[in-house]
């Protein structure tokens, strides 16, 4: 049934987004991009893709940041086009996508203010999709409660912050906890919203968001080793969704080392693979440098997570009549921008041996 | 092949040529060829990445130059007072060929870079200066407006205090204090922050402040009337002056921080009125100084832009040409010693001499003695289709090309469309008045051709302009058919004596016109227009005419198979396809046309039988062959003739179905019998020679040449495929004959609709006011005439015209082209400066 009326409101935009998706760089594009000698070559090569002449008006020595900025700008323009053409419930869904960026921006701003950076410089570094009117006022706040009452109360993020109100002064750990609590609330809310949409949207988005939640859970666990974050606090940060919930989450809450994380993830087949090889890699690296080994594992995990994310987002395009494609397109495109930046960075710094370490999408 | 004389009937004969161009003259030769614009180069390094090709460096340099030119253009466009850009035809040409070419380009590059840095510097200083000016202007506003706030606040302040004091006085009885207070000057002890902020942000700003300070503030803001213009983007921003009163250093610090992060600019204002006045004076004087400087900078910048504008289009032209030249040269291949460039491409055979001349000219220009070598290659690859068009035939050719590009050297329907297209259109659009309107519109466009060709007309007008000659032809033909139908804005013309007289006097009821022996000289007798049975007559006449025209058009299209068969050396096709198809068509529908003409030629008032229905005749000819009802007999011996015709048609079906596959099968058997497999059985007349030549050339050229022919298209004839193809073709043709003939009835339907619509329009508008007299009558007349004319143009000429155009296109594409057109060619795309120049101006 949902297929019957889907196209009335969303057919045009789905067509647009699938068209955009066809412009995502493929393996052959990447292989010619990695052959580039200079960033000039890189620019020429990119102009043969869907990016077109987006760098044509940049004066000649271009920097990697310009490339990343311009590519992001294209993505933002595309998103804004879609957003302005969307109607309920898709528009609400698209708003949900921006909330993630808003959270990131808020955290960026308050961290920056804490370290006394210039507000304007911080504003420029914010993701354009997560910008909201009252954002600049964030810089005056010194604790979460003030933050909430002065600025956030009128943003859509207000409900997420309600759980972590405290009068305690902001410090780095605090901000990190706030970020994770808010993100947990956001993910759960988004998950519920997708569930309320029902149909294929719920199917697709729930699996994507479940993975996102699990990823956060595992990351929080690994990052909280050897910090003064108590285990109860840690458990509170875990999203109450995902495939590891609740058993895996409980195990992770008690974990003290990476081996226990691995055991907790044993139950999910897909996640088992993340650890299998990484453990062996760690074995090769030797036990002498324990901390380095662990961060190596974390880096490798991160890479695997990205690959899995790309895989899941690609799956979303196999399903018709659902909103998941919009979310997936944004995520894939972000990955693509990360890839481009990576390759450009490798070219600029002449680090040819690592140039292949991007994550191909198609 | 036989005729070397170029015609529009076939696409141009093409040759594959190979050019050996010494590197010294490569640039100039490519330039010459680009000016000529008739060689389509093939990409000889398809496997090389774009950034690994030979001339990437040069392209990059030209791109950088193009970027600078774009920058200048945008700067010039942004300038409020128009800066004249001297058009290309007016400026002295910049010679970018010859021995000094490289130097010229280098110089141009340096000039562009210089201009860019200078312009950037000026922009920067202009920007900083205007930024400063803006700040000062804002400061002035803040000073001026806050003065207002202060005065207001002062007044209110005393009021509030007094009222408070009054009420409290009896209770507290601090008379001395009150005295003290009233005696001392009213001094402000409130702290405040003043500044300007973007107007759109005021509400948010206010809200945030309210929330952060928990309401402990008094804010006032006022609009600044004039907008501020950002010098670099030209965007306008409107701002507000605000002043916030609050108490306590912490709060003030917070306010300052928030304002700054919200993009407000703060100005230090003193609460003392004298000091304010003083700083206002100071600001004003500084502003005056700055404005002088700013004006000078602006004038400098403008003169720089004027200088750029002088040469801009010239540079633009050169840079674009350079880019195109290097892009073309990237398609070429170096020989082993990297001394010569190797190019390959298609060109019209009869242009080879011109090309050779151009190459020689290029050599002379560049002052070297090495001449590029041109060599013609023999190939079995199908050349691209290249139809030479002029501005008149271009539109018609485009109509046919959008159906499908003609196969190389196929009979080109675009030639005949020049006449048939406007004619079929006019049959549907027959009206002298409407024809004149569209012909005049087209004439106007043609007269303004020169100016309009350069202007950007937008999509819709541009399309009409592109088809101006089609429209002109359609208009002229419509005038002609309008005379035939005797229709001018749904009225009749009386050019000669009508053949019919209406009885005199006032007669009520039906009156009958009497024939007076005259024959109306041209077209339809105007008497029919007033007659009750006029519509019946017109219907019958137009319907029959549609069928007649349709069968003629289809027959003509079918005949196009003959030149194709001869040209492609497929003589058997004439006997296996063309003849049976022609017989089939003629024995049924050709016969129908003859019957129509015969029936028209008989005076049925004097005949013994009623006029028979031709439709029923055709149906019964197929359903009950041989039997003719005596009362519906058209001519004696009709039964026999019809049986014979039907038999011919029936015989044609298996003829079409079987002979061609059979002949091909036999051919196949023969070649197999001789022991050849595959290679020799293609239709090329000199297959063996060509292939050996190809082979030899390949050996001669060695490694300088990437494979020209990837693989000859395999001519593997699958016999089953041939049979199926023929079956489909036969069925399609036989059914097509019927449906296509019926399809031509659209000529009648649209013509009828057009005539009726224009009559209705006349009746609803003009005829209502015809009899009115007096002032009201005149006003109504003018009003209605305008209305009628607008509707005539909008509905009848444009809307109906587009619909008739569409149907004429369909009749050409489907009904006519399906009879002969293969349309499997590919278009010839040449790198040409002419096209470039057209886009440029």
Task: Kindly report the CATH number assigned to the domain that includes residue A81.
Answer: 1.10.132.50
DSSP conformational letter for A352 = G
A113-123 per-residue burial string, b: 16 or more CB within 10 A, e: under 16: bbeeeebeebb
Answer whether B212 sits within 8 Å of A59, measured CB to CB. no
Count CA atoms within 13 Å of residue B366 on its CB side. Answer: 26
Which residues on chain A are in Cβ contact (under 8 Å) with B254?
A: 140
Q: What pLDDT, on the 0 to 100 scale, is given for residue B26?
A: 82
Q: What is the mean pLDDT of chain A?
A: 83
Q: Are residues A77 and A96 in the same domain?
A: no
Closest CA to A122 of A138, A141, A143, A142: A138
Q: Is the pLDDT of residue A282 over 60?
A: no
CA angle (B720 as vertex; B717, B722 as ends), nearest 5? 60
Answer whether A137 sits within 8 Å of B258, measured CB to CB. yes
Q: What pLDDT, on the 0 to 100 scale, is given for residue B160?
A: 53
Q: Is A34 on the interface with B (CB under 8 A)?
A: no
Number of domains present in the structure of chain A: 3
Nearest to A139 among B60, B204, B257 (CB): B257
Q: Are residues A285 and A337 in the same domain?
A: no
Q: pLDDT band for position A98 (50/70/90)?
A: very high
Domain-ending residue, one of A169, A197, A225: A197
Q: Are residues A82 and A143 in the same domain?
A: no
Left if phi > 0, otherwise alpha if psi is -120 to 50, otherwise beta: which for A301? alpha
Tokens of B481: 């058919």
Q: Are residues A81 and A96 in the same domain?
A: no
Q: How far is A142 from chain B (nearest CA, A)?
A: 11
Domain-ending residue, one of A164, A197, A230: A197
Q: What pLDDT, on the 0 to 100 scale, is given for residue B682?
A: 45
- Top residue of B112, B211, B256 to mutate, by most chain A CBs within 10 Å, is B211
Check: CB of residue B528 under 8 Å from CB of residue B537: yes
Q: Are residues A296 and A316 in the same domain?
A: yes
Residue A305 structural domain: 203-320
User: Percent of chain A having pLDDT more than 70?
Assistant: 92
Q: Is the pLDDT of residue A342 over 80?
A: yes
User: What is the three-class DSSP state of B197?
Assistant: strand
Which residues on chain A are in Cβ contact (under 8 Å) with B260?
A: 119
Give the per-residue SS3 of B461-493.
Answer: HHHHHHCHHHHHHHHHHHHHHHHHHCCECCECC
Q: What pLDDT, on the 0 to 100 scale, is given for residue A2?
A: 67
Q: How far is B214 from chain A (nearest CA, A)?
A: 9
A309-322 per-residue burial string, b: 16 or more CB within 10 A, e: under 16: bbebbbebbeeebb
Q: Are residues A235 and A309 in the same domain?
A: yes
Q: Are residues A82 and A94 in the same domain?
A: no
Nearest to B49 among A35, A136, A154 (CB): A35
Left if phi > 0, otherwise alpha if psi is -120 to 50, otherwise beta: which for A101? alpha
Q: What pLDDT, on the 0 to 100 scale, is given for residue B717?
A: 56
Q: How far is A146 from chain B (nearest CA, A)?
A: 8
C-alpha to C-alpha distance for B458 and B464, rounded to whole angstroms? 10
Q: Are residues A327 and A305 in the same domain?
A: no
Token pair 């003009």 is found at B766
Q: What value does the CA radius of gyration of chain B take, rounded to a whole number of Å?
A: 42
What interface predicted TM-score (ipTM) does this complex get?
A: 0.75
CA angle (A292 as vertex; A288, A296 as ends), nearest 5? 125
CA angle (B456 as vertex; B453, B462 as ends), nearest 5? 70
Check: CB of residue B58 under 8 Å from CB of residue B326: yes
List all residues 6 or more positions away from B577 whose beta carbon is below 8 Å from its beta carbon.
Answer: B561, B565, B656, B660
Q: Are residues A50 and A99 in the same domain?
A: no
Tokens of A38: 């200079």
Q: How far is A44 from chain B (nearest CA, A)?
A: 6
Q: Is the pLDDT of residue A295 over 70?
A: no
Q: Are residues A123 and A82 in the same domain?
A: no
Answer whether B70 sits within 8 Å of A35, measured CB to CB. no
DSSP conformational letter for B385 = B
C-alpha to C-alpha distance for B335 and B36, rounded to whole angstroms? 25
Q: pTM of the prediction?
A: 0.68
Answer whether B51 sits within 8 Å of A36, measured CB to CB. yes
Q: Are residues A315 and A331 in the same domain?
A: no
Q: How many residues does chain A have?
A: 362
Check: CB of residue B377 under 8 Å from CB of residue B17: yes
Check: CB of residue A87 under 8 Å from CB of residue A70: no
Low-confidence stretches of chain B (pLDDT < 70) are 1-6, 96, 98, 153-190, 231-234, 505-508, 675-717, 829-841
Q: What pLDDT, on the 0 to 100 scale, is given for residue B190?
A: 67
DSSP conformational letter for B372 = P
Domain-ending residue, one of A197, A227, A246: A197
Q: Are residues A77 and A117 in the same domain?
A: no
């Amino acid at each position: 049934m949902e297929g019957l009326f889907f196209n009335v409101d969303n057919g045009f935009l789905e067509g647009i987004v699938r068209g955009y998706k066809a412009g995502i760089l493929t393996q052959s594009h990447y292989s010619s991009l990695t052959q580039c000698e200079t960033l000039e070559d890189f620019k020429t090569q990119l102009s043969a893709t869907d990016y077109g002449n987006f760098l044509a008006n940049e004066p000649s020595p271009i920097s990697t940041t310009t490339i990343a900025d311009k590519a992001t700008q294209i993505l933002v323009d595309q998103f804004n086009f879609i957003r302005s053409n969307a109607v309920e419930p898709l528009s609400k869904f698209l708003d949900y996508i921006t909330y993630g960026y808003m959270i990131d921006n808020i955290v960026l701003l308050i961290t920056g203010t804490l370290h006394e950076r210039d507000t304007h410089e911080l504003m420029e570094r914010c993701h354009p999709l997560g910008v909201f009117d009252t954002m600049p006022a964030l810089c005056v706040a010194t604790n979460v409660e003030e933050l909430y009452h002065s600025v956030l109360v009128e943003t859509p993020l207000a409900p997420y912050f309600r759980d972590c109100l405290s009068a305690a002064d902001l410090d780095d750990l605090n901000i990190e906890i706030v970020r994770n609590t808010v993100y947990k609330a956001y993910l759960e809310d988004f998950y519920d919203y997708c569930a309320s949409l029902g149909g294929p949207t719920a199917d697709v988005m729930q699996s994507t968001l479940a993975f996102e939640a699990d990823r956060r859970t595992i990351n929080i666990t690994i990052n909280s080793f050897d910090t003064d974050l108590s285990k109860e606090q840690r458990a509170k940060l875990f999203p109450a969704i995902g495939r590891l919930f609740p058993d895996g989450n409980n195990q992770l809450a008690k974990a003290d080392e990476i081996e226990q994380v691995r055991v907790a993830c044993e139950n999910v087949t897909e996640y088992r693979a993340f650890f299998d090889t990484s453990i062996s890699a760690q074995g090769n690296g030797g036990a002498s440098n324990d901390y380095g080994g662990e961060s190596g594992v974390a880096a490798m995990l991160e890479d695997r997570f990205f690959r899995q994310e790309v895989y899941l987002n690609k799956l979303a395009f196999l399903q018709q009549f659902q909103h998941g494609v919009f979310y997936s397109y944004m995520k894939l495109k972000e990955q693509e921008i990360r890839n481009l930046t990576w390759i450009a960075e490798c070219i600029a710094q002449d680090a040819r041996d690592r140039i292949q370490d991007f994550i191909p999408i198609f | 092949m036989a005729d070397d004389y170029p015609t529009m009937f076939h696409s141009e004969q093409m040759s594959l040529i190979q050019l050996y161009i010494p590197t010294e003259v490569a640039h100039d030769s490519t330039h010459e060829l680009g000016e000529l614009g008739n060689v389509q180069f093939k990409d000889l390094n398809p496997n090389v990445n774009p950034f690994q090709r030979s001339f990437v460096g040069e392209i990059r340099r030209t791109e950088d130059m193009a970027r600078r030119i774009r920058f200048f253009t945008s700067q010039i466009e942004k300038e409020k007072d128009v800066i004249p850009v001297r058009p290309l035809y007016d400026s002295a040409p910049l010679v970018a060929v010859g021995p000094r070419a490289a130097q010229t380009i280098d110089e141009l590059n340096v000039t562009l870079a210089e201009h860019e840095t200078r312009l950037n510097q000026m922009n920067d200083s202009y920007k900083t200066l205007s930024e400063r000016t803006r700040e000062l202007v804002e400061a002035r506003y803040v000073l001026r407006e806050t003065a207002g706030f202060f005065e207001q606040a002062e007044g209110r302040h005393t009021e509030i205090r007094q009222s408070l004091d009054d009420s409290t006085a009896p209770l507290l009885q601090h008379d001395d204090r009150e005295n003290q207070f009233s005696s001392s000057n009213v001094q402000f002890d409130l702290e405040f922050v003043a500044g300007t902020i973007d107007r759109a942000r005021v509400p948010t700003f206010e809200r945030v402040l309210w929330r952060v300070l928990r309401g402990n503030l008094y804010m006032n803001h006022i609009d600044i009337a004039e907008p501020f213009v950002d010098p670099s983007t030209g965007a306008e921003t409107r701002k507000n002056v605000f002043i916030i009163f609050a108490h306590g250093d912490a709060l003030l610090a917070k306010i300052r921080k928030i304002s700054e992060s919200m993009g407000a600019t703060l100005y230090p204002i003193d609460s003392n009125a004298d000091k304010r006045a003083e700083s206002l004076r100071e600001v004003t004087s500084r502003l005056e100084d700055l404005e002088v400087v700013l004006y000078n900078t602006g004038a400098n910048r403008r003169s720089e832009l004027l200088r750029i504008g002088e040469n801009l289009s010239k540079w633009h032209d050169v840079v674009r040409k350079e880019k195109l030249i290097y892009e073309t040269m990237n398609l070429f291949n170096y020989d082993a010693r990297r001394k010569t460039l190797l190019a390959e491409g298609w060109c019209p055979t009869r242009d080879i001499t011109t090309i050779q001349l151009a190459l020689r000219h290029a050599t002379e220009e560049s002052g070297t003695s090495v001449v590029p070598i041109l060599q013609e290659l023999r190939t079995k690859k199908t050349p691209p289709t290249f139809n030479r068009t002029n501005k008149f035939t271009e539109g018609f050719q485009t109509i046919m090309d959008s159906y499908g590009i003609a196969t190389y050297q196929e009979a080109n329907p675009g030639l005949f469309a020049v006449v048939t297209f406007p004619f079929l259109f006019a049959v549907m659009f027959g009206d002298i008045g409407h024809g004149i309107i569209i012909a005049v519109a087209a004439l106007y466009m043609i007269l303004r051709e020169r100016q309009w060709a350069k202007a950007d007309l937008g999509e819709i007008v541009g399309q009409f302009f592109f088809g101006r000659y089609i429209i002109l032809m359609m208009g002229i033909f419509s005038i002609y058919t309008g005379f035939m139908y005797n229709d001018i804005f749904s009225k009749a013309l009386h050019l000669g004596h009508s053949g019919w007289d209406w009885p005199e006097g006032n007669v009520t009821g039906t009156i009958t016109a009497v024939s007076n022996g005259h024959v109306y000289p041209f077209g339809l007798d105007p008497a029919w227009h007033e007659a009750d049975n006029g519509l019946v007559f017109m219907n019958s006449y137009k319907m029959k005419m549609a069928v007649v025209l349709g069968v003629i058009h289809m027959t003509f299209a079918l005949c196009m198979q003959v030149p194709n068969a001869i040209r492609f050396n497929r003589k058997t096709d004439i006997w296996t396809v063309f003849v049976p198809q022609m017989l089939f068509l003629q024995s049924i529908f050709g016969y129908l046309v003859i019957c129509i003409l015969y029936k028209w030629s008989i005076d049925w008032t004097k005949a013994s039988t009623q006029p028979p229905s031709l439709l029923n005749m055709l149906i019964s000819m197929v359903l009950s062959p041989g039997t003719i009802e005596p009362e519906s007999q058209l001519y004696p011996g009709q039964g026999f003739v019809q049986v014979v015709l039907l038999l011919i048609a029936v015989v044609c079906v298996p003829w079409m179905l079987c002979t061609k596959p059979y002949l091909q099968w036999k051919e196949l058997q023969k070649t197999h019998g001789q022991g050849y497999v595959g290679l020799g059985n293609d239709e090329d007349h000199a297959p063996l020679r060509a292939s050996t030549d190809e082979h030899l050339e390949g050996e001669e050229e060695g490694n300088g040449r990437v494979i020209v022919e990837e693989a000859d298209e395999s001519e593997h004839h699958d016999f089953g495929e041939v049979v199926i193809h023929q079956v489909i073709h036969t069925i399609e043709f036989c059914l097509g004959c019927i449906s296509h003939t019926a399809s031509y009835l659209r000529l009648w339907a649209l013509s009828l609709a057009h005539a009726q619509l224009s009559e209705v329009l006349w009746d609803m508008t003009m005829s209502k006011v015809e009899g009115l007299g007096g002032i009201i009558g005149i006003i109504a007349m003018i009003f209605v005439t305008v209305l009628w004319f607008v509707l005539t143009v909008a509905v009848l000429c444009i809307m109906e015209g587009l619909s008739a155009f569409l149907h004429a296109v369909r009749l050409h594409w489907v009904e006519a082209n399906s009879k002969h057109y293969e349309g499997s060619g590919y278009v010839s795309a040449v790198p040409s400066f002419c096209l470039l120049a057209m886009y440029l101006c």
